[in-house]
Structure 1
């Protein structure tokens, strides 16, 4: 992403991409000009459970915008629906399962911003 002198962050045109986590990600905001946070949309297909993982030093917040699923954080499972929010502590083991009939979509707000090096597969 490119930032102009006025603090505007221009889109990078990357769009949605597949991850080894078994979901699609669209990064909405993740740049050097804003190290305190990043924002993305995750999309999990029907019947899929994401990879069990943790984020080192990163707190993640989910805000569901479509579908329903079961979020597991450190072995505790909770059903989530549209509008529900979850705060996942840094270092917590986490995954989400799409239990609905449409793709599960949610915003992922990370503080500080997400870096691939913070991702730890637990599988």
Structure 2
């Protein structure tokens, strides 16, 4: 009987948060894959409601947005660029970012973070009481 190499066996990951939920960052999220045993990446699906702007923030990791539906504006380092379904945006480590949805439809995208996202990599750039917030 052949032996099986553990690394060759497919692994199915179960999301610890399979349901969509609201973040204080003014966005809905559904975590699809964010496992400590696979630190190379994480994957989440986001929804920006019509007429909303997400929180200005930066990450200590690289993030990719893959636009699924809708259209809007991505602001990176103060530069605003139009985005729509089918676009892919790379946001480098430390760059300020936010998504602006001025349309009447929600904007939906997936986020791939490398390495995986953890609360420690998030920095809120919208100060409360004149101070920057982390995590």
TM over 0.5: yes
TM-score (norm 2): 0.83
Equivalent residue in structure 2 for 1:37, among 35, 41, 46: 41
TM-score of the pair, normalised by structure 1: 0.90
Partner of 1:21: 25
Larger Rg: 2
**Cα distance between partner residues in 2 of 1:47 and 1:94:** 17
Aligned partners of 2:28 and 2:46 also within 8 Å:
yes
Q: Which 4+ runs in 1 deviate beyond 3 A?
A: 11-14
Count of matched residue pairs: 118
Unaligned runs of 5+ residues in structure 1 are: none
Match among 22, 45, 49 for residue 53 of structure 2: 49
The CA RMSD measured in Å over matched residues stands at: 1.3
Q: After superposition, what is the alpha-carbon deviation per residue over 1:22-55, rounded to whole angstroms, capped at 9, x for unaligned?
A: 0010000000121000000010000000010000
> Pairwise mapping of residues 1-123 of structure 1 onto structure 2 (< 5 A)?
7-12=11-16, 14-56=18-60, 58-123=61-126
